[in-house]
Amino acid sequence: EKLLIATCIAACLLSLFDSLLPGSPRNKPQMSIPLSESLKSELQAVAARLATNGKGLLAADESTSTIGKRFEKAGLKNEEEERRAYRELYMTSPGIGQYISGVIMFKETLYQKTSAGKPFVECLREQGVEAGIKVDEGLQALATGLEGETWTKGLENLAAAAKEYKAAGATFAKWRAVLRVQPGGPSDAAVLRNAQELAEYAATCQAAGLVPVVEPEVLIDGDHDIVRFREVTERVVAEVVNQMWQKGVFLEGSLLKPQMVIPGTTCPSGKASPQEIAYHTVTAMRRVVPAAMPGIMFLSGGQTEEEATVNMNAINIAAKEMGRCPWSLSFSFGRALQHSALQLWAKDHAKAPEAKKLFLAVASVNSAACVGKYNTSDGPHPSAASVESLYEGNRGHY
């Protein structure tokens, strides 16, 4: 009996040692089911359209609770019809396809229609705009991480949901993970868990025919400086890319949605210049993002509408000057595209046409910024009347 126990222990130890060897089958990537060549071609074509130079994404995927908070500040009721009418502003803006390549929607919005009965998805398709869907189901506390660290739920039913969204007209999806810059953090556990989930999400969506927008958001909350933020960004994005490779994600049919590299909101040295932000952002992306990915769509993360545009412009100028930047460097903005239009519409719904024009004006300057051609000498930013901060603390809540 003792000999049997000793033999079992030895076998377990040998198995463990074998799994740690670089060439061990146990240590090789856990690949997903291979995609067909026709599906790869479809995914690559959609990703390329989303990453078209001079166009970006409208992130109109706020959850019911999140849009409720913004409605409350604007003096609006958080009711389904109010939300539908508000979303209609963007879905029916004439000329949206000139500046916006895709719109990320919340599940409720994906199935909504205009007041005249036309599906939002159809409105977008007619203007050459791809319909996207937020598929994650929010954040949960990470028991093995540091205080406040999270993981994102939603993988359990994602395969079935992705097929449903594809049938409803969606061509791409988005999943948000959140990492925090803090003493000793983000922890290894948080970085790995969130990277694995993003990779699993990406592979699952591609199998269903949806291009995954991969969003590892590093929060700007904290007193860290811009160098510390860049180091965390590089570490997080590198692990996400590593996990995507291990999962067999088709990189040419995916997009990355990171935060721009900026100092923490309470950094003692204050805000960085657009040129500093651009340098550190481009440096980080060049170090960790493969050339195979067609586009990097930056989130605005609490910057004012004008700050987001100016920094987006500086990033593209820096990319041209620094070289070796093979991707489209664009935007996936929510508040930085919608805030001024929401304020105008909230005061008087009869001003919907004016709100649409304002939204398009903001979209147009961001379109120019995507190719480094936004020029402040051409006149004030369209949102100049609204310079309030769009920062929302604790965006990593669960």
Which are the contacts of 326, defined by CB distance < 8 A and separation ≥ 6? 291
Q: Is 113 a catalytic residue?
A: no
Distance CA 194, CA 396 (A): 13
Catalytic residue, chosen from 55, 247, 257, 356, is 257
CA distances (Å), 69 to each of 140, 231, 360, in order? Answer: 20, 33, 24
Catalytic residue, chosen from 197, 200, 215, 252, is 215
Angle at 301 between CA 298 and CA 304, to 5 degrees: 105
Strands (E), the chain: 56-60, 100-105, 130-134, 139-141, 150-152, 172-179, 211-218, 255-256, 295-298, 328-333
Distance CA 307, CA 10 (A): 61
Q: 52: which 2 tokens?
A: 């078209």
Counting Cα atoms < 13 Å in the Cβ hemisphere of 389 gives 7
Q: How far apart are the first and last CA of the chain?
A: 51
Q: Is 215 a catalytic residue?
A: yes
Q: What is the largest CA-CA distance in the chain?
A: 86
Distance CA 284, CA 281 (A): 5
Angle at 165 between CA 160 and CA 171, to 5 degrees: 125
Counting Cα atoms < 13 Å in the Cβ hemisphere of 313 gives 19
Give the residue numbers marked as catalytic.
215, 257
